[in-house]
Structure formats: structure tokens, C-alpha cells
Chains A and B, each alone.
Chain A
Amino acid sequence: EAQVTQNPRYLITVTGKKLTVTCSQNMNHEYMSWYRQDPGLGLRQIYYSMNVEVTDKGDVPEGYKVSRKEKRNFPLILESPSPNQTSLYFCASSLTGEGYTFGSGTRLTVV
């Protein structure tokens, strides 16, 4: 089944403890992207990648890192999480840069 898989689905962590949210797609898509979704603010792009080893900042990149060493994987790294990074995170991929397929989401709480 064609899909974007992100893990974990739920995560509660403490301020400052490094964490990684994994994202993998099995559709051989070139484009991958991370979003956060907050009430009243909609979906905001954190980072995106148009190909292996090519990553660019979205609108809200502060406090996040990504890497794209392989086409299928695009992990999101929070080196030192803070409470303002409590949010719902989505990974997504696309063949053309339009029409993204989204993962199921990761609900992150930083206390």
C-alpha cells in the first residue's frame, strides 16, 4: 500500500531532551515536507526537500533540523525541544511538488 509512515503517533517528552520523529514513504516521491498544525494557525511548513541531500527551510524552521540521506526517509529532529513546540506534526510526500500524501501525524507534547 502506498503510504507515508511516521512514528511515533504520540510522544510526551521533557524540555531539552533531543528527539527524532521518523518519516518514510514507499512511493519513490522526490518531494518531502514537514508541517506543524496548531489551532487557529492551520498548517505551517517547517522544512522541505526536493531531492536527496537537498533541504530548505519552510516558514517555521527555528528549533528543528531535518536530513534527507535517502529518498524514502525524512526525519525531523528537535535538538532541544521546548513547550512551544507542542503541536501536531505531519510528514508528507509528493512526486511533483503538488498533491501531497500525508502521514497520520505525530502529536507531540513537551513539558
Chain B
Amino acid sequence: GQSLEQPSEVTAVEGAIVQINCTYQTSGFYGLSWYQQHDGGAPTFLSYNALDGLEETGRFSSFLSRSDSYGYLLLQELQMKDSASYFCAVRDVRRDDKIIFGKGTRLHILP
């Protein structure tokens, strides 16, 4: 089978740094994606890691390690508007390219 595991909730302070982890159990996928979803809104694409290592996009960075079956999303200089749910996702090549999402991590930011 395949699953992506994320913490259900994370709490951090405004201005701080937070890391949201995603571990997965699949042996064949193209890369790891991250999406952000605010309450009442649609998911929006944040980042994609095709290769191992760190990808940086402004305050957000994403990391992938295929050998460790692990990835994370790093959010720096947290702002209140970053309060949202964050989902990791993979496209599974061994399951006809189906997209599998993690159940999401709710990020709470304290002032």
C-alpha cells in the first residue's frame, strides 16, 4: 500500500520558523509536492521536489530525501496569514500516476 503521514497539527509563534514533516511509504513516485489551503479556500500549489535536497522559494523551503522516505516544508518568518492547512502529495508511478495526498497539517500561529 501507500500512505503519506503528516502531523495533524502544529503550533508556532509569529516570526518563528516551523517545519512540517511528511513521511511516505511508496517506492515509485516522481517527486513530492506541497499545497497550502486556507479555511474555506482551495488548495494552492507551493513547491515541488523532483530531486533530493532543498528547494527555496522566498520564506518557504521544501526538502526531499528519497533514501529516508522523508520530506518537509519549512516556513520562516511566520506571519499570521500562514495559518492554514498544509498537504504533501505524490504522484505514484506504480499506481497509474494516481495522486495521493497526506491528510494535512493544520498550522496554528500564535501572536
Which residues of A are interface residues toward B (Cβ below 8 A)? 33, 35, 40-45, 48, 50, 56, 58-59, 90, 92, 97-105
Which of B15-23, B43-51, B70-78 lies at the binding interface?
B43-51
Closest 5 CB pairs of A and B: A42-B103, A102-B42, A43-B101, A99-B45, A102-B43
Contact A44 B101 (CB under 8 A): yes
CB distance from A30 to the nearest CB of B (A): 12
Give B92-110 interface residues, CB cut-off 8 Å to A.
Answer: 96-104
Which residues of B are interface residues toward A (Cβ below 8 A)? 30-31, 33, 35, 41-45, 48, 50, 87, 89, 91, 96-104
Bound-complex Cα distance A9 to B50 (A) = 34
Complex contacts, B50 vs chain A, CB 8 Å: 98
Bound-complex Cα distance A33 to B91 (A) = 12
State the main secondary structure of chain B at its contact with A: strand
Given contacts A42-B104, A98-B91, contact A103 B42 (CB under 8 A): yes
Bound-complex Cα distance A103 to B37 (A) = 12
Complex contacts, B31 vs chain A, CB 8 Å: 98
